Every structure is written in structure tokens, then in C-alpha cells.
Structure 1
């Protein structure tokens, strides 16, 4: 069989049913083979970065390995930022790109470059197939490596002539592997002893809890301990119910802020994350003196990587939490701590209610009221794809996320992931309504995704929060000036999205999507409800307040 047939059959063997791509000439063998493989649906994107961003969120929302097909060097270059995001998000992905004919390599052909070298810094493994005999084995290995903990993207370059070569080596197929590694009982016992002795334990829940389907188990552990539960500063999934009394919010982005988060704690349990991704350098430890640090991690490299933990357990997250939950006895003081957490949560909720009421009548619409109105107009079972950034605090204090699949966001810090990612979530979560929330600046990095939503008739409601600025950068320049003692009363340079003002309804119309421009807070709820009721992709541009 020919190399292209090996590729397509390998995808079928591995359960791939979607190909996320942007077509090009060197991808002709794959594109020309699609009609012969009707189980493979091609999701068309107008930019390679959008294709990868979509595939990244699809991998998270579906639990499958995403497959991406890009164009040669410039196309792969366009996608590098989004591949980086997928690497940080631990999304299992096989990213491929068509490559020029290897026989023309020494002629420096148009669009020619070393694709494997380009992708290597942002992938777990990067390789070029040199002959058809390698296709099956390399692709089989690519799927394996993409899924090994911590999961992440791999890259395979596919020269056009190799795709047309004949080979007797069969397509790759998935191995039957039982890799739900169990924790060392001694490690679980050590954790139980430390947690029993703690007077004020706390938990930081990473994305692996959600990916393992272990949210309910974590709830049980938190309640047994009487421990609050924090999220990481950047997170992709929802690993704990946000309406639970133990939910504490999001940890800070520097060591000083983290130290404040944990100031009253004598034991911190870290679950499945990099711990910690900081924005600003600050000297010192995030943990108070004498605090015991415990960590559960599925990948050996991340265990005790940044901190000398007092008890570290290497195991699949679900299995580890089940073992810990089963071993935890009734703990003295847990009931009292749970009561205190409930009181704190009630106080936090009351403070948010007061904050919303105080900001209710402001013009332009405050972020707090905007979120309240959006929530009121959305279906109860809505899935939120989030890139709100500076509105994130109000989002999490307004919406309730109970399950792992209620919320999706991007990691790595690169913007533009939300609008692109909503495509992937909609493809995976076909039975639930999808709400994509994005700032105006972020959305412009992947606005072409609107065309893909229209082309594939994906009923996503896109909400663009238009404050006409890069608000987060204004906050960050304030922080920079403070941290580095820069005396300045200068204006914010190049951070306003005006002159001209972006017209998102017009942009949406040009890509086949109906839109609504909202300037008054009183109109938000009805507009959101109508957008969902349409059953079609729809864009809402809501004008909100800028930085005060």
C-alpha cells in the first residue's frame, strides 16, 4: 500500500475521527484520500494556529488524541504558539505537516525548511518520516508518546513523495496497555500521617484531577480533611465544584502572593500540576516555615521538581486519590474546619453580591454586572470556553462549574486560545450548548475561527467583551513600575484598541455569522438567550468598562 494509505488507516486504527487542518499543496495526498475514509471528518480552518488551538481543546473535551495536519514551514511557524499552549496544557496531540519532496532537499525548494527542528522546542518528540516503510512505526510511536504522562503534542513531518511510496509495512495500531499506575502504599501511608497531624491543611488542584475524572473523589478528601481547595493561576479544566464551601479560588502568580495564600496552612497537598507558574519573580518560598508539602503526580519529571516535598507519590491521579480517600480516617478538627470554610464561602459570596450591586448602574457596563447578565441568559447546562483574563474573577464568582467538562481554558499564557478552542469543544461536546467568552484583544489572534464555526454549523455563542484595550497589559505595566521602582506617570503606550475601533459584528457578518452589538447592560440577558435559541453560531459584542 502507499504511504498515504498507511497514514489514513493508522488514524482509523487509533480511533481518530476528526482531522483539524489548514490545507496546502504538500498536504495533497491526505486531502485527496479523505473520500476513501468517510469516518474521518476534516475540520477546515483558515489559519494553522486556529487549527491547533481548536485541536488542543478538542483533546481536552473529548478525551481523545487530537490529530492535526498543517502546511509546510510558514504554516508550521504560524502554529508554533498554539502548539506551545498545547504542551503547557498537556494535551495529547499528533501534529503533522506536509513536507517538500525529499529529492528536492538540496535545491532549497519554495517553503522548504527543517520542520522537525522547528517543532522540537514545543513538542515531546519531533521527527520527519524519510521513507514509507517508517510511516506505520513512527505514527504508532507518535500516538504512544503523545499520551505518556504528562501528555502533550508530538510532531511528524510528512514529505509528499514519501506519502506516495509503496510499502509492505502495515499501518500502526494502538497497543493494549494497562497504564493506570497504582500508588506506593507506603507513600499513601506517609501522606495520611502528615495530613492527620495537620491543623490547617489545604489542597491545590491541578488539571490532572479533572482529566482523571476524580473531581468527586477530591470532594470527599477535602471534606474528610476540612481542607480548602485552590486552583492554579492558569488552568485548563475544572477540578473542583466552585459552589462547594471548600472552594477558595485561584492562587497568586508570585511567591509573595502564594505565601499569603498559604500563610495559615501547615500542610499543602499539590495535585497534578506544574506548581507554580509565576508571572513575576519574588524571593522566598511560597510555603510558610514548617509547612509540610505533599505532591501527587502522574509524571516522574514533575514530582518534586521545584520543591523538596515531604511526601511525594507517583501514580495515575485517579488511582492515587482513590487510595488516599480510602486510607483517610475520621480526622479530629475536620468538622470545625469545614464550618469555618462554609462561613468564609458565605462571606465571599456576600461580598461578590455587594460588589455587583455597587457596580450595577455603571456605564459602560461593569464586568461584574456583565457576567451576572450573561449567566442569567445562558442555559443551565452551558459549557464555558474561557479567555476572559481580567474578567476571570467575576466569571468564577458568577458561574457555577461542578464537573470537569463544564469549563475549558488555555494554559501557557498565549492569547487567542479561547475563540479557536471553542471550535474544538463544540466538535467534542455536541449535546451541550457552548458559550465562548473572550476579550476583544484576545479574540483578534484567532478571529478566523468564526468562519470555521459557520462552515461546520457549530452553534457556539461567542461573547466578545469589548473594553477597547489590552487591559491586562495596563495592570502589568502598573505592576512592573511598582516592582522595579520605576517612577512614572506616563500614559499606557499602544494598549488601546481604538483608532479605529474594532467592529466585531461586521467581522462576524463577513465570515457568515450573525451578530449583535450591545451597549446597554439591560439588553445583555435577552440577547444571550436569543443567541442560544437561534441554534446557530452567533456573536455578541458587549461594550464593558475599561481600566479605572
Structure 2
């Protein structure tokens, strides 16, 4: 005797490691909610009051736990509200399984209120879709969805499930879960070691795959074995190399001309786990300078040679591959050579960081706060082990130059570009890592898009410090407008001065305004002592 569809759904979720469901319900979700009410086991239902916050919470939770998160949305309207979060998750390669209830099949042909083509609506924002029409197909579709969501390249997978399907008096068979294959190193690592070890001026680009696959320590060993400086990929979504390491050379700018200039001094590059180079603004020409020997390593075979030619492409799990490469390199690069390169790079990077520090400190006396001063105060106030969730756009670029982080998972961003992600993602991360300080650094425009996430932060007492950098404008758009020759104020960019302490108060969240760099640093330093959320409004010049 097999279980009915709704209990089978919950059994599969538990078997896939789902302990929380992130959702905002409607009538089409009532059969699912009834099944949750009938059990005293996991998963717990985490409520958001807008689907943008719901998907963002799941995104932050999945990244922090390393497990696929489960999202429940309500029919066409709820799915539409969640699409921005799904686009972010797909771009950032966050594994999610998303289920939306469809109207009862017995009157679906009559085009009932709220119904719609859910599969067509979701398809552009997810890896795959499943239109489940028979109860017997639900368990298999769910198993496939979880497997596909986690398979490189990871991302969201969508299922449309009619509400009456979950109430059928039908026994279904639950297929056993197939454990995913273990991570295996790439083939061709001997040649990769020969090319990288044979370079006179090697460099490494650390892509987001390194952070996602917990391969940071392995990349450190590889870099040290050949003395290669390491750049983060443009607009990196996570910490892929310790910013405290002497070989860390900073993030590559998100333009092809700037990337070419940064890599021009080198003759050999290892590009590990980077999704192309994701340029933000167009500039003519390729990203890589001519004559550069390119070794590309990725767990996704479609990435090899995708946007630039590679002299040697390797497909395999990043951690085992980089570990093996680190073992092979000493045969090619003498220890004294690697050490000399590292010392020279360290001197250069230390000087660059000192200049950046001095430039930031020189802005401390201005009022309102200068962006450099605010970014510096946050960076220097972070308690040890803090997880930074950053959606601050212009101030975020400055913060990246100033943070000194070495713990994997300590910096999170979304390159998807859909605003409003940061608040929800920070709540999800705090739920996933209780006891770890979480500081969300947000632009005022980004905060406005995701403000409903503060409701969930308050409801679940998520101990997040929300720092809103309030410059009263879509500053990045104004900056780009001026860079392209525009003069005066670009239409549609001015937000005006907003009091985010009042917004926080509406949701029942304690809030304070930081008028000086010293006050801001002090507030950030106390993030580890929070037992409930707090918001800091930072007026900027």
C-alpha cells in the first residue's frame, strides 16, 4: 500500500533534506497546507508576505546550507511575483525546487480566475519545468526536479501541480532516491599542470564555482604552488579566494577592456569555475589579451570555450581537480620560484590595499557620510566570521575593495540583477546558520524593492543587521549616464531622502540612524550580539 499524493510529497521533501518550505499560500495550496497541518514532522512552513521575499529567503537558505531549497508559490500571480527571484537564482546557480498550485483540473478549461499557463510563465526563468497532470507522476517528477536542480549548472526547477491532484484518493509509488555521483577530478590535469607550471607569469581567475563547490582551500593550495596572483571574477557572487591572502589581486572589473588590461601582464591564466566573464557594460574587443595561454576548468561542460577560446579545457568537480593540480605543480614550479612570485605579488597587493585604505580614511570628515567612509566603517566593524549579504550596487563595489574575509560563505551577492534580493537572502542565511553574525549591506533602491522581507525578519526574529546605504538615488544609473556624456540629473533616478527607520518601525524592527563612520562601525561591530533584527539607516553624501 502506497501513500496518497500529498503525504508522498512530504515524504520526498524530507528524503531530499528539506526542513523548511518557503512560501506565500493561496487557495490552490490548501491541500498542501492541510498535509503540513496533519504532520508533526518537518518541514516547517516559512511565510513571506510577497513572493519576491519568499524566493530570496530560499535562495539565501540554499546557498548557506548547500542543499536544494523548496519554494511554494500561488498560481499565476504568485509565480509572476516570484519570477525576479527565480531569474536571480538561475543566474547565481542556486538550486531551488519551486512548486505552484494550479486550479482544479475539472474546470481548468473554463479559464477560471487566477489560472494561467504556469509552465510557459516559468520557463524562461528556470532550468526545467514539469506540468504534473497525474498523481502517479508526481513522485517521479519531484525526484527528477531535485536531481536536476543540483546538477551543474545548478538552478531552479519548476513544477505545476493542480490542487485537486493532491487530494486524490490514489496510492502512488515513491521511487527510491538515487544518491548523486561523488565529485570526481577532471581528466587532463597533467597537461594543465604543465601549461600553468610552464608559464613565466601565471595568474588565476577564481569563479563563483569555487565558492559554490567549497573549493576555496584547494584553490589556495594551487595558487601557492605556482605563486600565481588570484583575481575574483567580475561581480563575484561569493567569496572564492580569501581577500586576506597576499596573492589576492582583487576583483576583475565587469568590462572587456578593463579585464584585458588587468590580465595583460600575464602569459598564462587558469580560469576556474567562472561563468564567462559576465560583462556589465559593453566595450569592444575580447575579454582576454592576445597571446595568453588559457586553461579553463569547470564542472559544467557547456562553459568550456563558451565565450572565449581555451587552449586546454577540463571538466570535473573543482575541489578534487584543484587539489590534484596543487599536487602536480611542485614538479613543474620550484618552491623558491613560487615563493619569490608570492612575495613580489604580496608587496604589490599590500601597497595597493594601503592606498585604498588611505583614500577611504581621507573621506571620514565629510557629512553626510561619503560612500568610501561608509564602506570602510562597515568593513572594519565586521565581527569575526560574519556572513555579509551585499546588494548595495555602488557602495558594494567599494566594500569589495575593503573587506578582509577568509571564511568560505562570508560574502554573498547576486549577479542576477533583480533588485530586492538582499533582505530576504539575509533572512534565509540567518535561518541556515544560527549563531553566525549576518550583516546585509543594502542600497536604498534595493531595499525598497525587497522591503516586505522585513516582515519575515521580524516574525522569525532573524538576528540580521540591515545596513541601508541611503543616497536618495539610483546612483549607479546616474553614474553610468554621466560616464556616457550625460549632464545634469538623469530622469527617473532620484528617490529623495527616505527615512528607513520609520519603515523598520512599521514592521516592528528596531532601527537607528548612523550619522558618522565611528557610529556605523560601532553598530556593525555589535552584529554578533543581536537576538532579533535591527536596521541601520546610513544617509550618504
Coarse TM-score class (shorter-chain normalised):
over 0.9
Matches within 5 A, 1:407-426: 407-426=411-430
More divergent stretch after superposition (227-236 vs 369-378):
369-378
Moved over 4 A (4+): 529-532
Paired residue secondary structure (2:291):
coil
Matches within 5 A, 1:486-497: 488-497=486-495
- Note if 1:7 corresponds to 2:13: no
8 Å CA contact 1:259–1:286 kept in 2: the answer is yes
Match of 2:519 among 510, 516, 523: 523
More divergent stretch after superposition (108-117 vs 274-283):
274-283
- Note if 1:69 corresponds to 2:67: no
Paired residue secondary structure (1:106):
helix
Q: Cα distance, 1:173 vs. partner?
A: 4.1
Q: Cα distance, 1:527 vs. partner?
A: 3.4
Residues 258 and 181 of structure 1: CA distance in aligned 2, closer, same or farther (over 3 Å):
same
More divergent stretch after superposition (449-458 vs 274-283):
274-283
Aligned residues: 535
Q: Cα distance, 1:268 vs. partner?
A: 1.3
Instruction: Name the residue aligned to 1:111.
Output: 114
Paired residue secondary structure (1:307):
coil
Distance 1:403 1:275 in 2: 25
- Note if 1:543 corresponds to 2:539: yes
Instruction: Name the residue aligned to 2:315.
Output: 314
Instruction: Name the residue aligned to 1:224.
Output: 225
Match of 2:31 among 17, 29, 32: 29
Distance 2:185 2:530 in 1: 48
Instruction: Name the residue aligned to 1:120.
Output: 123
Instruction: Name the residue aligned to 1:148.
Output: 151
Structure 1 residues 218-249: Cα deviation after superposition (integer angstroms, max 9, x where no partner) = 11111121111111222221111001111111
- Give TM-score, length-normalised by structure 1: 0.94
Distance 2:526 2:302 in 1: 48
8 Å CA contact 2:389–2:413 kept in 1: the answer is yes
Q: Cα distance, 1:371 vs. partner?
A: 2.7
Instruction: Name the residue aligned to 2:241.
Output: 240
8 Å CA contact 1:450–1:508 kept in 2: the answer is yes
Residues 544 and 173 of structure 1: CA distance in aligned 2, closer, same or farther (over 3 Å):
farther
- Give TM-score, length-normalised by structure 2: 0.96
Q: Cα distance, 1:259 vs. partner?
A: 0.5
CA RMSD, 1 decimal: 1.6
Distance 2:183 2:191 in 1: 21
Distance 2:191 2:316 in 1: 15
Instruction: Name the residue aligned to 2:395.
Output: 391
Match of 1:364 among 344, 363, 368: 368
8 Å CA contact 1:10–1:173 kept in 2: the answer is no
Instruction: Name the residue aligned to 2:92.
Output: 89
Instruction: Name the residue aligned to 2:438.
Output: 434
Distance 2:380 2:250 in 1: 22
Structure 1 residues 35-67: Cα deviation after superposition (integer angstroms, max 9, x where no partner) = 314321111101111111111121111011100
Structure 1 residues 237-277: Cα deviation after superposition (integer angstroms, max 9, x where no partner) = 11110011111111122211111111111111111121111
More divergent stretch after superposition (20-29 vs 300-309):
300-309
Distance 1:514 1:181 in 2: 48
8 Å CA contact 1:434–1:460 kept in 2: the answer is yes
Distance 1:377 1:336 in 2: 33
Paired residue secondary structure (1:243):
coil
Distance 1:520 1:195 in 2: 47
Residue segments in structure 1 that go unaligned for 5+ positions in a row:
483-487
Matches within 5 A, 1:108-507: 108-184=111-187, 187-329=188-330, 331-332=333-334, 333-479=337-483, 481-482=484-485, 488-498=486-496, 501-507=497-503
Residues 377 and 248 of structure 1: CA distance in aligned 2, closer, same or farther (over 3 Å):
closer
